[in-house]
Copies of this chain bind each other. A is one copy, B any other.
Amino acid sequence: MTGITREKCAKLDAADPLAPFRDEFVLPEGVVYLDGNSLGALPKATPGRVADMVEREWGRDLVRSWNTAGWWDKPRTLGAKLAPLVGAAPHEVVVGDGTSANLFKALVAALRLNPGRRVVLGETGNFPTDLYVTQGAVELMGAAERRVDPDGPELAAALGAGDVAVVLLSHVDYRTGALRDMPAVTRMAHDSGALVVWDLCHSVGALPIELSACGVDFAVGCTYKYLNAGPGTPAFGYVAERHHATARQPLSGWHGHIRPFDFTGDYEPAVSASRFLSGSQPLIADAALEASLDLFARVDMRRVREKSLAMTEMFIDLVEPVGLRLVTPREPERRGSQVALAHPDPEAGYPIVQALITRGVIGDFRAPDVLRFGFTPLYLRYVDVFDAATALVEVLDTDEWRDPRFAERAQVT
């Protein structure tokens, strides 16, 4: 056994400098929420911020709020608030549109910046939208797609072919939780003559990110996982300053224009990350993001990373005896903020997750066989980790998961 007890966990919680943040979130009674890597929990400040946006900014001040409430500049002011979380300058990040649209913009812009090469190098197991959007972009651009496993030796070989225009990788793999070495991969890509686009969906808000220091060209990410901005709230795009005069994306709406209120007939992009903007943004959802980012302004991301690794390490240790295969890398420096496990029987994954949900431990299942558990240091306690691991061990030890009701599939995941 591991020697970890619930009492020891309670002591760790008492000494945890991040512990007070838990009180800033709404967490349903009796629930251990290990799905913040899919949808973050609701900050207590958010409902009030959203209501103020709806009732005062929109309802009372109406169209005047484009000026008085800063609506017009919201994609930039939110981008500036988000920038420290990704190691970027304030003018290198804009908030707007979804992850898919931002990926499309970044891929087309990168292909245009590297016109002598026509290959987008992606990863075999990337999140489907990354794969699908790449297919959409390369078809339009007369380019080609190649996929490798970035956690193996294939990446260097693929780059060595000398035809890769741009590399698109997820910083943390959505299924395995593997964390990629952003400095090394970015350097290797640049050395081979390729640009890089990083998808930060599963890392932003979970660990420190240093886009500028790594020399990254473009990055995208969503705001509703570890950033807790609410379901489907707009994504963000990062454009390195050195590309601000030259990166051209094709969704050239008026919010990306250098002088939008001239209402001229010809598109001339702004010389900043604003050129990645297109049209008006859903400002009610943006209000929820603002509440989240204001909370993160008080968070030390190094402490988040320390606690995240301590929690995932503890969870791995506690569940090791039940014999599930650890899909997530064992080395801390190669691990994001989630633990993925697989049962020898691929059909077992779904009912195990359902049995846990019935016990109040919410994780999720990803085809073909992965049980995912996300660890969010801002609102999880060490005792939660202990309780969740205990529940998982019991569900397996007692065969509780074999109850036929847990095999019934819901409409969507």
Contact = CB atoms under 8 A, between A and B. Distances in A.
Interface of A: 26, 28, 31, 33, 35, 38-39, 41-42, 46-47, 50-51, 54-55, 58-60, 62-67, 71-72, 97-101, 104, 108, 124, 127-129, 131-133, 135-137, 139-141, 147, 222, 224, 230-235, 249-257, 260-267, 278-286, 288, 362, 364, 366-367, 410-413
B412 A254 contact: no
A136 B50 contact: no
Contact of A410 (B50, B51, B67, B412): B67
B50 A54 contact: yes
B412 A283 contact: no
B41 A47 contact: no
Given A50-B50, A58-B231, A101-B251, 17 more contacts: A26-B59, A28-B59, A51-B51, A63-B362, A67-B410, A72-B412, A97-B97, A98-B253, A101-B101, A108-B140, A128-B264, A131-B267, A140-B141, A231-B283, A232-B282, A233-B282, A263-B367
A53 B266 CA distance: 40
B412 A67 contact: yes
Contacts of A260: 128
A47 B42 contact: no
Nearest to A288: B284
A133 B262 CA distance: 16
A249 B250 CA distance: 13
The residue among A99, A141, A249 with the most chain B CB atoms within 10 A of its own CB is: A99
B55 A47 contact: yes
B282 A67 contact: no
A46 to B, nearest CB: 6
A108 to B, nearest CB: 7
A222 B286 CA distance: 17
A413 B66 CA distance: 8
A266 to B, nearest CB: 7
Contacts of A285: 282-285
A137 B250 contact: yes
Contacts of A262: 367
Contact of A135 (B55, B127, B267, B367): B267
